[in-house]
Amino acid sequence: MPVLDQESTLATDLARPPSTDTAPVVRVRALRKSFKKREVLCGIDWDVPAGRVIGLLGRNGAGKTTLLRCLLGLSPIDGGNVELFGEPMTEPGGERMHRIGFVPQTFDLFPWMKVRAYLDFTAAFYANWNHALTDRLLADWQLDPKQKIGELSQGQRQKLAIVRAIAPEPDLLVLDEPVASLDPQARRAFMGELLELMRQPGKTVIFSTHITADLERAEADITLLRDGAIQFTRPLAELRQRMRRVVLSRPGGWTEAPVVAGLLKATVKGGEAQLLVEDPSVESLHALAEREGAELRIETPTLEDLFVELA
Ligand SMILES: Nc1ncnc2c1ncn2[C@@H]1O[C@H](COP(=O)(O)OP(=O)(O)OP(=O)(O)O)[C@@H](O)[C@H]1O
């Protein structure tokens, strides 16, 4: 029986993007980015279709922030190209600014400004600004319009950054770990706002996060960034439907993991071989278990399990 490197993954089949009829809002080709000699993005190809919520997943240091900043022209790229709304991205700003909202990982700007003054100041730059929405969010999220930004807690600043990004009702909203400092109520409210925004046709959201429950709440498409490349973009429902954890246990244990069709990752631990399999054939698995004298369990992994396995 063929042997599989226990840490290796065979994610080739996962590389297919979800089918779409519309032109992508974000189109990235062969994007490269290094810091000194360390290459963080090693030739990213990525299409983000309009009207989707994309959850960008990856381990700490995988390059999520770097990728999001490169997309928006906030960080210079070393190679490849980025198109937003069908046009090359060369630098931030311009007409396109009105269509894009960005929530950075940290928000430390204008500490001397008061919340209301900051929002009014920012509104002046935008063609469209939903004042009713900002008023409602300030009240709902208990942000004091008269407080100075420098006096806000980290979570309150994150809320303000979200209000500022949503108020222009952007066509593309990019959020870098937007909920990291938010309490559970605020996270839920934030997801509500996000979904409300998404009810309008053609709106696209990309957000990086480690909180898989939020991705589940948003029914997001999942993009996995690993080893400097996009490993896959798949609707969450499809991942849930197709991925199974197959556990084969036998008293004598395993010297090598069995290989089955659709295998993405195999791990051997004591008497158990754990296989992450896409679209497994239940019949063949039963036949394999019988042949090998093993007990078979087929489980549906949670998104967090999947992330731990694949990231
Ligand atoms: N300005 C910089 N100078 C040097 N190295 C950098 C810089 N910014 C990022 N890096 C490096 O690039 C890699 C990717 O960082 P990045 O912040 O994009 O990861 P991330 O996936 O967003 O991580 P996290 O989940 O922890 O926020 C890391 O190894 C980081 O040290």
Provide the domain limits for residue 294. 243-310
- Quote the pLDDT of residue 6: 39
Does residue 7 belong to any structural domain of this protein?
Answer: no
Q: Is 76's C-beta closer than 6 angstroms to any atom of ligand 1?
A: no
Q: What is the pLDDT of residues 30-87, one digit of tens each?
A: 999 999 989 999 999 999 999 999 999 999 999 999 999 999 989 999 999 999 998 8
Q: Is 58's C-beta closer than 6 angstroms to any atom of ligand 1?
A: yes
Give the end of a domain, one of 197, 213, 239.
Answer: 239
Backbone angles phi, psi at 10, to 5 degrees: -115, 75
- Rounded distance from Cα 182 to ligand 1 centre (Å): 22
- Rounded distance from Cα 40 to ligand 1 centre (Å): 8
- Rounded distance from Cα 64 to ligand 1 centre (Å): 8
- Quote the pLDDT of residue 12: 39
Dihedral angle of Cα 160, 161, 164, 169, to the nearest 10 degrees: -120
CA distances from 10 to 41, 63, 76, 198 (A): 20, 21, 32, 33
For ligand 1, what atom is nearest to the CA of residue 59?
Answer: 25
Do 107 and 234 fall into the same domain? yes
Do 231 and 298 fall into the same domain? no
Mean pLDDT to the nearest integer, 116-130: 93
Mean pLDDT to the nearest integer, 16-33: 77
- Quote the pLDDT of residue 13: 42
Do 141 and 31 fall into the same domain? yes
Give the end of a domain, one of 224, 239, 254.
Answer: 239
Taking CA atoms only, the protein residue closest to ligand 1 atom 5 is 35
- Quote the pLDDT of residue 22: 65
Backbone angles phi, psi at 214, to 5 degrees: -70, -35
The Cα 109–Cα 229 span in angstroms is 31
Do 18 and 141 fall into the same domain? yes
Do 60 and 192 fall into the same domain? yes
Mean pLDDT, the chain, rounded, equals 87
Give the end of a domain, one of 239, 258, 275.
Answer: 239
Do 179 and 234 fall into the same domain? yes
Alpha helices (runs of H) in the chain, residue ranges in sequence order: 64-71, 115-123, 131-140, 154-166, 184-199, 212-217, 236-242, 282-292, 303-310
Strands 79-84 and 24-35: antiparallel
Q: Is 86's C-beta closer than 6 angstroms to any atom of ligand 1?
A: no
What sign does the dihedral 75-80-84-88 (CA atoms) show? positive
Do 102 and 114 fall into the same domain? yes
pLDDT band at 17 (very low <50, low <70, confident <90, very high): very low
Listed in sequence order, the residues at least 6 apart from 107 whose beta carbon sits closer than 8 Å to its beta carbon are 157, 158, 160, 161
Whether ipTM exceeds 0.85? yes
CATH number of the domain at 208, please.
3.40.50.300
The answer, yes or no, to whether residue 248 has pLDDT greater than 90, is yes
Does residue 4 belong to any structural domain of this protein?
Answer: no
Does residue 88 belong to any structural domain of this protein?
Answer: yes
Taking CA atoms only, the protein residue closest to ligand 1 atom 2 is 35
Does residue 199 belong to any structural domain of this protein?
Answer: yes
The Cα 273–Cα 265 span in angstroms is 11
Mean pLDDT to the nearest integer, 174-184: 86
Do 172 and 273 fall into the same domain? no
The Cα 208–Cα 196 span in angstroms is 19
Give the total number of structural domains in the chain.
2
Does residue 182 belong to any structural domain of this protein?
Answer: yes
